Each structure stands twice: as structure tokens, then as C-alpha cells.
Chain A
Amino acid sequence: MIESILSLTFLAQVLRMFTPYYLGASAANFSERGGVINIAIEGFMIISAFSYAFFTITFGNPFVSLLLTIIVSLLFSLLYALLTIKLKINQIVTGVGFNLLMAGTAKFLIMFFYQSSSNTPNFQPLPGLPFISDIPVIGKAAGDYIIVFGFILIFISQFVLFRTRFGLRLRSVGENPEAAETLGVGVRVYKLYGVLVCGVLSSLGGIWLASNQGSFSDGMIAGRGYIAIAAMIIGKWKPVNIFFACLMFAFFEGLEITLQITGSFLPSQIVQMLPYVITVLVLIGFIGKTRPPAADGVPY
């Protein structure tokens, strides 16, 4: 078993699994830094994965489909912003509603378009970066546009949040909106920006999952949107810490897959449970105190 974990194949597996978690967690982070909780990351991933599959099957061009999918996700984000920012409706409840809406819509549409209760037909995945994709074993992971973007995103998030005026204002809106407004920051506009960035990033997570599988199937997101939120909390709303949290969750998922293949003393359900148990332990306080942005979830 140790040999199978210490292999390049396993590393590539972890790199791949890391991507949707990090995209989802960064998405949630941008939203929460602006003070808007979005527990519908799961739903955004579902609807994006479905839309991407639908557009690719219908139009064929993966990059056009990617663009169209992001637009779909942005439209849902605007609706989310309308309800939570403009109408100030409770964000948790809205998130629950969005999850039901997006999961339900995807289920309905696969049945309607493809007469299947479970999945769409297969399609060609996103092509990889030239040259790098041809490297054996890790090429498929290292040459994937979205995976590469996922890694660059660590630096982008860190830079944008902590080294730009936009980041400073976004954080000020999430920490103390009254003070931000006094200083002339358009609080609601920045909240909207946070929600929109969240929509784009979570959409990429869903797109990657669909492209990686080469189809959309019901239940394929499998709680990754929630794990992403957990990773954000464990990562204490900091891009670099979130990176390590996602890496840990990706490691467990890779382990679970490896264990299913090789068989072991640890049952796969127990491994499946570990990320969530760890999150609860973190919340209990074994890994120091976590502190969300002060005005997180408070409508303004």
C-alpha cells in the first residue's frame, strides 16, 4: 500500500483532486471576505458541470462552452446577489434554496434532453496545454489548463486580497461595512463583486469535474462544494492555508480511491468520513481558533 501512495500516479491523482476543492474554496473565500456566506458552492458546481456538458455536446467547441457556462453561473450569481444583498434575505436559507434549485434543474434537464435519470452522453474533455500534456504519468494533470490555473490561483488570491486596493476594500466590507461606507467604499457593490468572483471560480470547479469525467452524471459533485467550504474554514480564510487544507482533502480522496483499488485494513467509508471529522475537530478547537470575517453573513 505504501508503494502505491509514494508513486507519481498517486501524486498526479492528488493534484487532480486538489483542483475542484481549491477552486470551490477560493470561490467561497472571495464571497465571505466581502461578508456574504454562500453555502451553494455545491449547487453552482452542479449547474456549471451540467451546463458545460450540455454546451459541449450541443456546440462541440470546449472553449466556447467554457465561456457560456461561466455566463450561466454569473447569471445565477446575480440572482443570488439580488436576494442576499439587495433584498437582504438570510444567506444560509437562500443558499439552501439555491442548492435545491440547481440540483433539481440539472436532474430535470438531463432527463428532458437526454432521457436519462443519471447521466449525459460522453464528450471530448478540454484539450491540454501543448507539449506538457505529452509527459508520461503526470502530463495529463500538469498540462490541464484548469489545474494549472488552480495552482496559479493561490498567488492570485493572495495578491488580490492583500496587495491591491480591490482586496483591501473587499475585506473592509466583510469586516466592518459601516466603517467602509464612511470611507466612501460602495459596500453593496463590493459585496456583489465578491459574489460574482465566487460564481466564476466555483463554475470552473464544476467545469473541471465534468471535463475530467467526459460527461455529467447526477451526484458527481458528491459534496465537494461542502468540503470546499470546510477547507476555507480550516484554512482560516487565508489563500495559502486554504491551499494546504485542500491538499489534505485531496490526499484523503486520492487515498480513498487507492484503497478501493488495492484494498486495505481501513474501510473506504471511514476514509470518506475523515475530511468531515477533521473539520469538526478543527471547529472544536484542536487546531487553534478560527475567526471568520467579522461581518460575515450579516446583511448590509
Chain B
Amino acid sequence: MSRKLKANILSISLSLLTTIILTSLLLIIIGKNPITIYGTLISEVFGTGYGLGQALFKATPLIICGLGLALCFQASLFNIGAEGQLNIGAFVMSFVAYNLDDYLGIMVIPVAIAAGFVMSALWGLIPAFLKIKRGVSEVITTIMMNFIALALVNYLLIEFIAVKSTVRTERILDTVFIPKLSDISSVFQGSSANMTFFFAILLAVFMYFIFYKTRYGYEIRSVGLNPTASRYLGVKTNRIILWSFLIGAGITSLVGVNFIFGYKGYYELGFSNNIGFTAIAVTLLAKNNPIGIIFTAFLFGVLDYGGLAVNTLVPKEIMLVFQALVILSILAVDKVVKIYYLKED
């Protein structure tokens, strides 16, 4: 095992430990027993097929969105705009889906996915363009584009598209839904987990292959590490930045598949519930490694559903604090490990 890998494992486990200690302290301060709460969480999630299914269901969009972000982050593009990109994409995806499901049948799924993907990618075009042509930081533009996206979707939905007195689009036909995991194994009975989960895993493996086994991945990572040096080595830096941003933003739209084709059958305002931001934490925790993202997204899925499971003991919002502490402690612990274990800096 290389020293670098050891350091990674060390920092991930240390930061999880830090988070658990900090959250436990918080729980003790407010007069709760942390052991009971962690115990309930674990038995509720891992003790029942339903709980596990729900955790997988919550993890699925985080994996997908995290993969899109990983592509951007690998190229050192801080895309804070996933929330906006995925809402635009999912909105268009559902619009295409319920309008064409009569004509295309099951084939509406790839068509709608393609439409959503392209829209999200185009939404990422503006920050990418500004970054390349004007040198404007993508951080600030993507934050602005988030607000514009949400207001735009809100406007289009409420003024023109929404089903009367709701904030959602029309439902797709029952025949074009993606099968649920409970259709295959009765273990997951009642949970919303669906085949999108396997699709997310496949996508992760594919992205891993691209990142670490192809020339494209090598170029993306080299641009991320040192754009100037990459340019001198003949890498077309701007092209890499543009395509990483577009495809990364496009991938985030696939979050909609889980919700639209796997769960509700329509797009609804607020469906994303800050997935675009939580996925940033998921991706960072995994250090942009696609396989790692599967695990960190699963951890967040467990916390997400686990929050509901322990809600009678402590408000489920404690998990939001837990998630934020995970990201801050991985950042801090990572640096400390770098300084004292790898002797960098």
C-alpha cells in the first residue's frame, strides 16, 4: 500500500471519527444519549430491507450528482451550480417525458434523458464560457445561475405547465416507469429504491475508467493540477475545461431519472432538496474518486434516512449538522495529515 493511499484512508477514518465525536458532544450537551441514537439509526437502516432500500434510494441521486461534480472538480472547476443545472435538466426531462410517452412508449426514457442532459449542459455553458473567455471565477457565476435557474423553472412551471393548484408537472404513464428494486426482491418491499441505483453504480465504474485509465482522464486531471504546465505539454486546456464543465453539468440532470422515472413520475418544485450542495460534500469526501463517491453517497443516504428513523429521539435535522461536520472535518483532518504524516507544505 502506498503512503499516499494510507494517508487517504487515515484521513477519511479520522475525519469520520472527529465528526462522530463532535456530534456526540452536541447530543450530550442537549441531554441525549448518543449511543441510543446511533444504535437506533444503525438498527433501523441495516436491520430492515425497507430501511436499507430507502438509504439506497436517497444515495442514488447523490452518487449521480457527485459524479457530475467529480468531473468538474477533477479539472479544478468549482461548480457550485449543480442545484440549478439539475433542476433545469430534470424539469425539461419530465416535460419531454409526459408529452411524448404516448408516442414513444418505453423509448421516451432515453429521449427525455438526452433532452435533460443537453439542457443542463447548456446551463453550464455560461459559466464555462465566462471562465475561458473572461477569466471570471466559475464559483460566483454558478451561484448566480442557481438562483436564475430556480426562478426560471418556478416561473415556467407555475405560469404555464403545472397541473392546476399543484407545483408539479403532469405524471408520466405507468408503463414507462423504471422497475423498483422491490419488483426483483421482496426484501426491499415498500421502499422507493429503483433500478436507477444500478445505473448510478455503472456510471461510477465508467467514470472511474475514464478518469484513471484513459488519455482524456489523464488530461482532465493534469489541467486540474496545473493548467499552465498542461498547456505547454500540448493539452488543449480550454477545450478540456469547456467539455468537463458541459458534461459534468449534463450528468447532474440524471438525478431526475431517479425521481421522475423511478419514483413520482413528475417534476416537482423543491424535489432536489439541496442535492446539488450535499453532493459537493459527498464528492469532496470521496476525493473526487468515482468509486469512493458510491460509498460516501451511501453514507449520506444512511444519514438522510437515518435522520427520519431517529426523529422520535432527536430532531432529524441533527443529520444536517452531521453532514456539514463531515465535510469540515475531512477538510481539516486532510490538511493535518498532509502536514504531519506526509510532511507536505
Listed in ascending order, the chain A residues whose CB lies under 8 Å from chain B are 37, 39, 83, 87-90, 92-94, 96-101, 103-105, 107-108, 111-112, 223, 226, 229-230, 233, 267, 269-270, 272-273, 276-277, 279-280, 283-285, 297
Contacts and interface: CB of A to CB of B under 8 A. Distances in A.
B280 to A, nearest CB: 6
B281 interface: yes
B275 interface: no
Given A96-B280, A104-B320, A284-B130, 9 more contacts: A92-B139, A93-B327, A97-B328, A100-B281, A269-B154, A270-B151, A273-B155, A276-B145, A276-B151
B141 A283 contact: yes
Interface stretch (B40-48, B59-67, B162-170, B330-338): B330-338
B144 A280 contact: yes
- Chain A to chain B: the 8 pairs with minimum beta-carbon distance, closest first: A104-B320, A101-B324, A111-B315, A269-B155, A108-B317, A100-B324, A273-B151, A97-B327
B229 interface: no
A285 B325 CA distance: 38
Contacts of B151: 269-270, 272-273, 276
B318 interface: yes
Nearest to B134: A285
Contacts, number: 120
A98 B328 contact: yes
A111 B335 contact: no
A88, A112, A230, A273 interface centre (most CB from chain B within 10 Å): A273
Given A98-B328, A267-B159, A230 B317 contact: no
B145 A280 contact: yes
B187 interface: no
Contacts of A285: 134
A254 B167 CA distance: 26
A34 B163 CA distance: 51
A30 B143 CA distance: 21
Nearest to B151: A273
Contacts of A88: 335, 345
A105 B320 CA distance: 7
A103 B320 contact: yes
Nearest to B129: A284
A89 B318 contact: no
Contacts of A92: 78, 80, 139
B327 A96 contact: yes
Interface residues of B, number: 43
B307 to A, nearest CB: 10
Contact of B331 (A89, A269, A276): A89
A83 B328 contact: yes
Nearest to A267: B155
A101 B328 contact: yes
B30 interface: yes
B147 interface: yes
Interface string B146-158: 0110011011001
B324 A273 contact: no
Nearest to A278: B144
B323 interface: yes
A94 B331 contact: yes
18 contacts: A39-B80, A92-B80, A92-B139, A96-B80, A98-B328, A100-B281, A101-B325, A101-B328, A104-B324, A105-B321, A223-B147, A233-B140, A269-B151, A273-B151, A276-B144, A280-B141, A280-B144, A284-B134
Given A104-B320, A104-B321, A111-B315, A283 B134 contact: yes
A104 B155 CA distance: 28
A284 B143 CA distance: 15
B126 interface: yes
A267 B159 CA distance: 9
Contact of A104 (B145, B158, B317): B317
B247 interface: no
Contacts of B323: 100, 104
Contacts of B78: 92-93
A97 B324 CA distance: 6
Nearest to B334: A89
A226 B80 CA distance: 12
A96 B140 contact: no
Contacts of A279: 140, 144
Contact of B126 (A96, A229, A280): A280
B10 interface: no
B324 A87 contact: no
A110 B156 CA distance: 33
A56 to B, nearest CB: 21
Contacts of B280: 93, 96
A93 B335 CA distance: 13
Contacts of B314: 112
A273 B137 CA distance: 20
A107 B317 contact: yes
A284 B127 CA distance: 10
